Structure 1
């Protein structure tokens, strides 16, 4: 089962998508499967991290901005830092499905990572 979602993103930041992904998993009624989340953009990504303390995602963005400074990039659109951050984070994550639910840790959530917004973006959830 493949489902595509559209979301509105901020100029830069992390948007939790755990609930949308979990809803698709619940529709499949599978005991043991795999959930794959993919972001089809070159200046955005997806990651799994703590979802209990909002300061964690703020710190992640702070660290990425520190690791990817504004340099004399050659790409003419002016969004090279966003491309680098998206490559560092990655464009997909996979989560096991156990007993019909996402097998995430107690504090884990799935985040859409925007590095070149605000934009209307897409992500896909595929249950394998």
Structure 2
């Protein structure tokens, strides 16, 4: 079994946004030369997350962020001294890992799927750890 590790730098530009990182992750898969296996993505931040969702209609990203904003609004009643509890909660709900299948040296995604880095407390410089395992 081969293991390939890398680090994806993500520069966010807004307080909240979803950035499509599918192409960059696909490039890492190709560079790994692993034909069949798994790719694991890990976001080591407590106010960011990673998800897989539709890549065709940009309104889906807007709707996801709007829904999260309604569910977890910025409120002064939170106790966390930094004032970004809403971002921590959104990160916990969406999650900080994703695993995908690698088949024939390509990501196995559905026709309308993309991998999104989710920023909830930006703008910031972020990182996504990538590990690809297989043969």
1:39 aligns with 2:43: yes
1:54 aligns with 2:62: no
1:121 aligns with 2:117: no
What residue number does 1:4 align with? Answer: 7
The correspondence for 2:98, drawn from 93, 102, 106, is 93
Q: Cα deviation per residue 1:6-56 (whole Å; 9 max; x = unaligned)? A: 121022110110011000101122221001111000000000000111110
Unaligned 5+ runs, structure 1: none
- Hey, what's the Cα distance between the residues in 2 that align with 1:33 and 1:78? 41
What residue number does 1:17 align with? Answer: 21
Could you tell me the TM-score, scaled by structure 2's length? 0.92
What residue number does 1:83 align with? Answer: 88
- Hey, what's the Cα distance between the residues in 2 that align with 1:92 and 1:17? 14
- After alignment, is 6-15 or 93-102 more displaced? 6-15
What residue number does 1:70 align with? Answer: 74
- Hey, what's the Cα distance between the residues in 2 that align with 1:28 and 1:119? 28
- Cα distance, 1:69 vs. partner? 2.3
Do 2:39 and 2:102's aligned partners in 1 also have CA atoms closer than 8 Å? yes
- Hey, what's the Cα distance between the residues in 1 that align with 2:26 and 2:131? 12
Could you tell me the TM-score, scaled by structure 1's length? 0.96
- Hey, what's the Cα distance between the residues in 2 that align with 1:31 and 1:66? 42
- Provide runs of 4+ in structure 1 moved above 6 Å: none
Unaligned 5+ runs, structure 2: none
RMSD (Å) for aligned C-alpha atoms: 0.9
